[in-house]
Amino acid sequence: MQPGQMAYDRAITVFSPDGRLFQVEYAREAVKRGTTTVGLKFKDGVALIIDKRITSPLIESNSIEKIFQIDGQIGCATSGLVADARVLVDYARVTAQVNKITYGEEIPVETLVKRICDFKQTYTQYGGVRPFGTALLVAGIDHRGTHLYETDPSGALVAYSAGSIGAGRNEVVAYFEENYKPDLTMENSVKLALEALSKSSDSELKSDAIEVGVIQKNKPFRKLSSDEVAKLLDTLKK
């Protein structure tokens, strides 16, 4: 950053002369340094996959949670500051429950994502706060179909057929652009995501460090067990 720009680095409410909010850009950098997170639609659902980056054999891998269930058929995965993500997940869960109590039905995925993004956007507009240093991949199924959204620290959202956030985003997206097909089965879509993660990682993928969440039509959100993940990883080695 140039010395003349430092005055615009102090508060979230001040634009730089070239129209930038530096605190929002710093929050995006926190996401870029986070773990590689992948989401993709398949024939009858959507999957979320994340490499938790277990840095020490002393860490109990099940204590690190980066994929969360929000509602019956809605889940999300995070990259960036996990503590910030938990606040957003709690907000999303409350929003989904309020909608169910008020209207007697589950909240549409797009509506929920817009509510999350509106909440994130308020933290870019007022003094004394900072943006959330996390991005979310929100996946779900509703009466409109299957959905996968990426939310940005600025409060922006984009829908994807297959996408990624975190440190290995560019490598994963490049791999998906060459190999992704929308009619894949659940098993093949998760295998494709694991292949993409392996391309973006310098080390070998381990089943205890991989977290996978799956949503299928007429079935609730669930996480694959470590044994199921291990079997899928074994198929990549053959």
pLDDT tens column, 131-181: 999 999 999 999 999 999 999 999 999 999 999 999 989 999 999 999 999
Asked if the 24-237 domain carries CATH number 3.60.20.10, the reply is yes
Mean pLDDT of 32-54: 93
Contacts 24+ apart (CB under 8 A), 176-181: 176/40, 180/40
Q: Where are the alpha helices (DSSP H) in the chain?
A: 22-32, 82-103, 109-122, 169-179, 186-200, 226-237
Helix or strand holding residue 149 (H, E): strand 145-151
Among 157, 164, 148, 182, which residue's Cα sits nearest to residue 75? 148
Catalytic residue among 13, 35, 102, 151: 35
- Mean residue pLDDT of the chain comes to 90
Q: What is the pTM of this model?
A: 0.91
pLDDT given for residue 214 in this prediction: 97
Whether residue 38 contacts residue 46, with contact meaning beta carbons closer than 8 Å, is answered with no
Question: Distance (Å, rounded) from C-alpha 4 to C-alpha 6?
Answer: 6
User: Over 60: is that where the pLDDT of 4 sits?
Assistant: no
Helix, strand, coil content of the chain in percent (nearest 5): 40, 25, 35
Known catalytic residue at 35: yes
- One-letter identity of residue 168: G
N-term to C-term CA, the chain: 48
Domain ranges across the chain: 24-237
For residue 124, what are the CA distances in angstroms to 15, 24, 68, 137?
11, 7, 25, 20
Q: How confident is the model at residue 2 (pLDDT cuts 50, 70, 90)?
A: low
Q: Which two tokens stand for residue 126?
A: 């007022």
The residues, ordered by sequence, that sit 6+ positions from 106 with a Cβ below 8 Å of its Cβ are: 71, 72, 73, 74, 96, 99, 100, 142
Which three-class secondary structure state does DSSP give residue 11?
coil
Q: How confident is the model at residue 5 (pLDDT cuts 50, 70, 90)?
A: low
